[in-house]
């Protein structure tokens, strides 16, 4: 009787180990793919692709564009007013509808970068900017650097623009 009990116990243990092994194997085969890690932020030619999570669909009045369909539409600014003493500011950074590329925005003042976005798709904009530090009070010449990358997997660099405007910080 005792030997039969031991046998049964052995069988149960072995069966449990087998089931566990099959389960782990099935997990690795069907659900775990190391590429999943890189798919979230694929890297192409040294560029880490990540859509900007704060980007949203632009619903404002987009300046009428009478250009063609093969170029890149760059938004231009006149005078921008932003508050001092805070790193949370609002300004529309727009990638106009119909553009053939992603935008990456950088806000540079007096040679110092205060903000950089992730990739922004056409028709999307960023309104809430989280600056690296508060802006200095006064009137400045600011530059919005717009780098562009193709929409396909190559993310090849396309022509870009540095948009200069007057920034008043109060």
Q: Which residues bind another protein (CB under 8 A)?
A: 60-68, 70-83, 90-92, 94, 96, 100-101, 127, 148, 156-165, 170
Q: How far apart are CA 164 and CA 145, in angstroms?
A: 9
State the nearest-atom distance from the C-beta of 41 to another protein, in Å.
Answer: 24
Nearer to another protein, 73 or 119 (CB): 73
Q: Please identify which residue in the block is written with the tokens 């980007």.
A: 55
State the nearest-atom distance from the C-beta of 44 to another protein, in Å.
Answer: 14
State the nearest-atom distance from the C-beta of 130 to another protein, in Å.
Answer: 15
Nearer to another protein, 7 or 113 (CB): 113
Nearer to another protein, 25 or 67 (CB): 67
Query: Three-state SS for 100?
Result: coil
Nearer to another protein, 5 or 59 (CB): 59
The helix (run of H) or strand (run of E) holding residue 43 is strand 43-44
Q: How far apart are CA 147 and CA 106, in angstroms?
A: 8
Tokens of 26: 């099935």
Q: Which of 102, 99, 82 is nearest to 147 (CA)?
A: 102
Q: How far apart are CA 118 and CA 48, in angstroms?
A: 9
State the nearest-atom distance from the C-beta of 154 to another protein, in Å.
Answer: 11
């Amino acid at each position: 009787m005792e030997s039969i009990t031991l046998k049964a116990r052995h069988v149960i243990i072995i069966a449990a180990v087998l089931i566990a092994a099959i389960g782990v194997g099935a997990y690795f085969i069907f659900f775990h793919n190391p590429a999943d890690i890189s798919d979230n932020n694929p890297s192409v030619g040294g560029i880490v692709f990540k859509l900007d999570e704060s980007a949203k669909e632009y619903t404002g009045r987009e300046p009428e564009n009478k250009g063609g369909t093969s170029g890149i539409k760059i938004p231009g600014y006149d005078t921008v007013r932003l508050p001092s003493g805070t790193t949370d500011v609002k300004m529309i950074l727009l990638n106009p509808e119909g553009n053939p590329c992603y935008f990456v925005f950088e806000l540079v003042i007096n040679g110092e970068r205060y903000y950089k976005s992730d990739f922004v798709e056409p028709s999307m904009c960023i309104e809430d900017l989280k600056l690296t530090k508060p802006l200095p009070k006064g009137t400045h010449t600011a530059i919005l650097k717009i780098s562009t990358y193709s929409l396909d997997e190559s993310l090849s660099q396309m022509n870009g623009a540095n948009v200069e405007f007057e920034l008043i910080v109060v």
